[in-house]
Amino acid sequence: MVRRLSLADADCAVAFAELIAAKRDSDADVGEAAGKILADVKARGDAAVIDYTNKFDGLALTPQTLRITKDEIAAAVAAVDAETLDALKLAAERITAYHEKLLPEDMSFTDGAGIQLGARWRPIDAVGIYVPGGRAAYPSSVLMNALPARIAGVPRVVMVVPTPKGVINPLVLAAADIAGVHEIYRIGGAQAVGALAYGTDTIKPVDKIVGPGNAYVAAAKRQVFGTVGIDMIAGPSEILVVADGANDPAWIAADLLSQAEHDPSSQSILITDDGMFADRVAAAVEAHLKVLPRAEIARASWDGFGGIVVVGDLLRDAPGLVDRIAPEHLEIASDNADAIAEKVRHAGAIFLGRHTPEAIGDYLAGPNHVLPTSGSARFSSGLGTMDFLKRTSIVRCSPEGLAAIGPAAVKLAEAEGLGAHGLSVAIRLNIPRG
């Protein structure tokens, strides 16, 4: 049974805290198991990756069959019906157009002291993309991860995707082809993360790993950080819907279940100012669950972690609750959607209005669907073009410029007790040293 809270109740603060603090992440033993797999891959390379793929995916590979061939990719593209392929291409066009606008520009200026300062952006050399292949196939995830890397100019984009029993959805390979992925390997789990981070005889290492996966993938990404960069530690999916009573309850119920069907640990929460509407949404959820193909997963999520919160006034009460959750996805279906959104500080992505379901953002609105979860929207953003770029600062001093600011640098170096620092400036300015 879904949790029902009312802001008017005396114990609402405690109940709300319990709702958003419910443990949905993996247990500690997942991290330990992932660590052992990573160590083995680092030590044995291809052999370890092959052994774990056989064990977990039921797929016997050799170093020669780790990589998916060009012919296999072409066959997958040919197997996709024209209408679906056109939909993928439309999604790619929209994602590309949005992420191209996120490209930063190099900067250069000369300040009042005559010092030339600037910054330049350069792409990462090699990026690994993890694409889930367990509970469902996600060609949209391929596009969302690979296209920003391509737009940033990354010269080598490597994709790993588990193929249990050798089966892979052709849409995943078609999306990789559209997105311009350079290499694809039929491996997943912590072993795939290890292969990308440490390299093997067959798979050259990358510099950054992005993309969501299961608990073992998340744990592995956490442990290889430092050897490589990572985008984020992705937790179970989340949606928070702020909706008034003028909405169709069936629409809002479907929105809530759109994330609940991802995983039993996903979380879907409704905030509304209309108690009767809350009842209608709860009933509509039950109706949808009778016919959805992934009803068992969605039911476990909704009953285990879902919530409905009734407040007195959406504009007054909802933003504060939203910021406490810092949700991955936030829908605001209200006539005051813009005003409410303006007061929200923490959300991975915001979907405004009654005709903007979060699911449109999962596929082809344009912004990325790889977003911060588990409250991390308080300090991080969704995946974007800049995640595949590095910023390098530029400094050039003329003799006059160094003379203007150098003495202050010498004083600061002396204050910190770093003599060579001070000397490297003073020697250029002929400042006497004691």
Whether residues 264 and 180 fall in one domain: no
242-268 pLDDT per residue, tens: 999 999 999 999 999 999 999 999 999
Whether residues 197 and 152 fall in one domain: yes
Whether residues 277 and 339 fall in one domain: yes
Q: Is residue 81 part of a domain?
A: yes
User: Average pLDDT in the 177-181 region?
Assistant: 98
Whether residues 294 and 185 fall in one domain: no
Whether residues 198 and 65 fall in one domain: yes
Whether residues 292 and 358 fall in one domain: yes
Contact between 155 and 148 under an 8 Å Cβ cutoff? The reply is no
The structural domain count of the chain equals 3
User: Average pLDDT in the 153-181 region?
Assistant: 96
Q: Whole-model pTM?
A: 0.94
The yes-or-no verdict on residue 22 having pLDDT over 90 is no
285-308 pLDDT per residue, tens: 999 999 999 999 999 999 999 999
| pLDDT top residue among 77 and 212 | 77
The yes-or-no verdict on residue 38 having pLDDT over 70 is yes
Q: Which of 190, 212, 230 is the last residue of a domain?
A: 230
3-state secondary structure 63-82: HHHCECCHHHHHHHHHHCCH
Q: Is residue 266 part of a domain?
A: yes
Kindly state the tokens that stand for 53. 């793929």
Whether residues 198 and 313 fall in one domain: no
Q: Is residue 190 part of a domain?
A: yes
Which active-site residues does the annotation give?
A: 328-329
Which band of pLDDT confidence, cut at 50, 70 and 90, is reported for residue 23? low
Q: So what's the pLDDT on residue 27? A: 64
From 6-20, 150-164, 217-231, 264-278, the region with the lowest mean pLDDT: 6-20
Which band of pLDDT confidence, cut at 50, 70 and 90, is reported for residue 434? low
Contact between 59 and 166 under an 8 Å Cβ cutoff? The reply is yes
Whether residues 207 and 182 fall in one domain: yes
Q: So what's the pLDDT on residue 408? A: 97
Q: Is residue 321 part of a domain?
A: yes
The yes-or-no verdict on residue 134 having pLDDT over 60 is no
Q: So what's the pLDDT on residue 70? A: 97
- As a whole-number percent, the residues of the chain with pLDDT over 90 amount to 92
Q: Is residue 331 part of a domain?
A: yes
Q: Is residue 40 part of a domain?
A: yes
Q: Is residue 18 part of a domain?
A: yes
Whether residues 336 and 405 fall in one domain: no
Q: What is the DSSP letter of 201?
A: S
The yes-or-no verdict on residue 429 having pLDDT over 80 is yes
User: Average pLDDT in the 306-318 region?
Assistant: 97
Q: So what's the pLDDT on residue 214? A: 87
Whether residues 349 and 204 fall in one domain: no
Whether residues 189 and 215 fall in one domain: yes
The yes-or-no verdict on residue 135 having pLDDT over 80 is no
Q: At 222, phi and psi to the nearest 5?
A: -60, -40
* CATH code for position 163: 3.40.50.1980
- As a whole-number percent, the residues of the chain with pLDDT over 70 amount to 98
The amino acid at residue 360 is I
From 9-13, 74-78, 133-137, 378-382, the region with the lowest mean pLDDT: 133-137
Q: Which of 181, 215, 230 is the last residue of a domain?
A: 230
| pLDDT top residue among 132 and 271 | 271
Q: So what's the pLDDT on residue 377? A: 97
Q: Is residue 306 part of a domain?
A: yes
Whether residues 166 and 130 fall in one domain: yes
Distances from the Cα of 42 to the Cαs of 35, 161, 233, 248, 301, in angstroms? Answer: 11, 19, 21, 54, 36
Q: So what's the pLDDT on residue 338? A: 98
> Across the chain, what does the average pLDDT equal?
95
Q: For residue 403, give its domain range.
A: 397-429
Q: Which of 230, 258, 282 is the last residue of a domain?
A: 230
3-state secondary structure the chain: CCEEEECCCCCHHHHHHHHHHCCCCCCHHHHHHHHHHHHHHHHHCHHHHHHHHHHHHCCCCCHHHCECCHHHHHHHHHHCCHHHHHHHHHHHHHHHHHHHCCCCCCEEEECCCCCEEEEEEEECCEEEEECCCCCCCCHHHHHHHHHHHHHHCCCEEEEECCCHHHCCCHHHHHHHHHHCCCEEECCCHHHHHHHHHHCCCCCCCCCEEECCCCHHHHHHHHHHECCEEECCCCCCCEEEEEECCCCCHHHHHHHHHHHHCCCCCCEEEEEECCHHHHHHHHHHHHHHHCCCCCHHHHHHHHHHHCEEEECCCHHHHHHHHHHHHCCCEEEEECCCHHHHHHHCCCCCEEEECCCCCHHHHHHCCCCCCCCCCCCHHHCCCCCCHHHHEEEEEEEECCHHHHHHHHHHHHHHHHHCCCHHHHHHHHHHHCCCCC
Q: So what's the pLDDT on residue 374? A: 93
